[in-house]
Structure 1
Amino acid sequence: MNKQDLVDAIAAQTGTSKALAAETLDALPGTITATVTKGDTVQLIGFGAFSTGARVARVGRNPSTGAEIQIPAAKTVKFTAGKAFKDAVNAS
């Protein structure tokens, strides 16, 4: 499914215009990004939750040379699938 297919499906399911469905879909990633960047969690009941996590600094290895390298600590994005989403995927 590509973006246009998703817009068509949203418009058909909600009974709105394709233009409004596309505008809403375009606003979604920016809104989620802005909220998660602030440190808040975005929870979509039945689908899942987007949040931030932390990776600690660690020592890794360069696969080409085998030399040790320092990997700095970093923030990461986490997605936790909701129960309904997991159940739907496992049922198919």
Structure 2
Amino acid sequence: MNKTQLIDAIAEDAGITKAAAKSALESFLKNVGETLTKGDKISLVGFGSWSISERAEREGRNPQTGKSIKIAAKKVVKFKAGADLDGAVNTPVKAAAKKKK
């Protein structure tokens, strides 16, 4: 699903116009970005949480040449799925596994 498809789905589910759905989605994305930029965590109970983690500088290898290179330290965004989302994603797998037994 891409952004346009998500906007269409939000508009249909919420019974609002595509313009209103686009505005709401863009506001959500802007606020998530700003919050994470400040170093704060976002938690939506049941859905999941976003946080920032520091990745230390490390040594790596160029796969083409095999030469050692330094990979700079940076901040990365992490997402951890909540129980409801995790359950929804994994339910079909669990059901299929039980059927095979």
TM-score norm. by structure 1 comes to: 0.85
Cα deviation, 1:11-32, whole Å, max 9, x if unaligned, reads: 3433433332221012111110
The residue identity in structure 2 corresponding to 1:10 is I
Residues 37-76 of structure 1: pairs in structure 2 closer than 5 A: 37-76=37-76
Aligned residues: 92
Q: Which protein is richer in helix relative to its size?
A: 2
The residue identity in structure 2 corresponding to 1:68 is S
Percent identity (aligned): 47
Contiguous gaps of at least 5 residues in structure 2: 93-101
Contiguous gaps of at least 5 residues in structure 1: none
Cα deviation, 1:24-49, whole Å, max 9, x if unaligned, reads: 01211111000001000111111111
The residue identity in structure 2 corresponding to 1:31 is N
What is the root-mean-square deviation of aligned Cα atoms in Å? 1.6
Matches of 1:78 and 1:11 in 2, distance apart?
Answer: 28
